[in-house]
Structure 1
Amino acid sequence: MFRSYLRLLLFTCGLLVGLQVPGYIVDYSQRVEAHLLESREGLKGFEDTAKRFFNGDLQALVRHYRSSDDPVFTSDANSIESLLIRNRQFEQEWQILQGPWLAKTWHVLVTANPQLREETLNGYRYQILLNPEALAWGLSCALLLALVVESLLLLLGWVALGGRRKAVQESWR
């Protein structure tokens, strides 16, 4: 009986952990989108200047600033270049997050931007979403956790007994 309750507890823990995955992915996506919009807004004035004087080429604007003898312009060139690099990173993150769910999930859980992942984790509030994707994640994680833990315990028991099975007593003798 105790073993059955442990199975239920494992299954429930797996279900609750799995239900968090879609919520975390949504939060991460929203954070990326917010940073992307902010970086676009930060570049807007420089893009206008590049359109007027350099046919919209921001790199030409940066080169022009760098070639100036004025240290203020040189410093601004570094600032603009930093904004461009940051914007490019957010654009790449956003493009990945527009892909298929498996690629998006793998990216967020494994290869996401460490800074954004940490920001998302720090601001994440546990939630239980009741949509098909969340339920599929929850049930999958629950079954996987229960299967792995029970298999591991059975393997440990088998090793502890030296690979022998308990002899079944025959009650009819």
Structure 2
Amino acid sequence: MNIVREYLRLAVFAIGLLSGVQIPAFIDQYQKRVDAHLIEAKQNLAGFRQTAERYFKGDMQKLIRHYEQSEDVIFRQDAKNVQLIFNRASLLQVQWDNLNSGVVRRAYYLATQYNPQILQETVTQYSYTVPLNPVALGWGICIALLFAALFDMMIGISAKTCSMCFHAVRKRS
């Protein structure tokens, strides 16, 4: 029976290891999506940034206010579009900045401040990998040890509970 438990423990450890290395891989794929969206948003904003540089010392908010206050309906409508693009680029820049930090901070940031659209894209198009870099191996070993410890605790609690039940039944007999 002990050998079966040890094999199960090894299987749980292997599952934990393979699951753990997915964490930095997922973060990496999410970060690449943020980067791609940021590049696209900056490209969409580039012409407006040039206009803001030329006429408003680079202040995008002044450019947007100018468009909002224009008597031309088309410019007023464009103000909303420029504001949307500017807001998206700003939010993506904050995401990108936070995802270029330490390993644990990146994981925490992604877990708490993710962009729902980009997260869904990442989940939908995620490709499982087994990266062999120190960060992935560290995550893998930590998760594997956690899984193994939880497995041992569950086995210990189950054995204790069964032992107590067995002794209670023996006392009644």
Q: Give the alignment's TM-score, normalised by structure 1.
A: 0.87
In the alignment, what sits opposite 2:79?
77
Question: Which amino acid is 1:140 matched to?
Answer: C
C-alpha displacement at 1:70, in angstroms?
2.3
More displaced, 7-16 or 69-78?
69-78
In the alignment, what sits opposite 2:63?
61
Q: Deviations over 1:81-117 (max 9, x none)?
A: 0011101101100111122221112112343222211
* Ranges in structure 2 where 5+ consecutive residues have no aligned partner: 168-173
C-alpha displacement at 1:69, in angstroms?
2.7
The answer to whether the Cα contact below 8 Å between 2:17 and 2:140 also exists between their aligned partners in 1 is: yes
In the alignment, what sits opposite 1:146?
148
In the alignment, what sits opposite 1:108?
110
The answer to whether the Cα contact below 8 Å between 2:18 and 2:140 also exists between their aligned partners in 1 is: yes
Residue 107 of structure 1 aligns to a residue in which SS? Answer: helix
Distance 1:23 1:77 in 2: 39
More helix by share: 2
Residue 46 of structure 2 aligns to a residue in which SS? Answer: helix
- Write out the 4+ residue segments of structure 1 that deviate beyond 3 Å after TM superposition: 159-165
C-alpha displacement at 1:164, in angstroms?
8.4
Equivalent of 2:43 in 41, 44, 48: 41
Question: Which amino acid is 1:108 matched to?
Answer: L
More displaced, 131-140 or 82-91?
131-140
Question: Which amino acid is 1:29 matched to?
Answer: Q
C-alpha displacement at 1:160, in angstroms?
4.3
Residue 164 of structure 2 aligns to a residue in which SS? Answer: coil
The answer to whether the Cα contact below 8 Å between 1:158 and 1:164 also exists between their aligned partners in 2 is: no
* Ranges in structure 1 where 5+ consecutive residues have no aligned partner: 166-173
The answer to whether the Cα contact below 8 Å between 2:20 and 2:140 also exists between their aligned partners in 1 is: yes
Distance 1:132 1:99 in 2: 16
Q: Give the alignment's TM-score, normalised by structure 2.
A: 0.87
Equivalent of 2:21 in 14, 19, 22: 19
The answer to whether the Cα contact below 8 Å between 2:34 and 2:118 also exists between their aligned partners in 1 is: yes
Distance 1:70 1:121 in 2: 43
More displaced, 147-156 or 78-87?
147-156
Q: Deviations over 1:42-95 (max 9, x none)?
A: 110001111222222111111111112322111100000001110110110011
Question: Which amino acid is 1:2 matched to?
Answer: V
Equivalent of 2:132 in 122, 130, 133: 130
In the alignment, what sits opposite 1:171?
none
C-alpha displacement at 1:163, in angstroms?
8.3
Corresponding residue pairs, total? 166
% of aligned pairs identical? 36
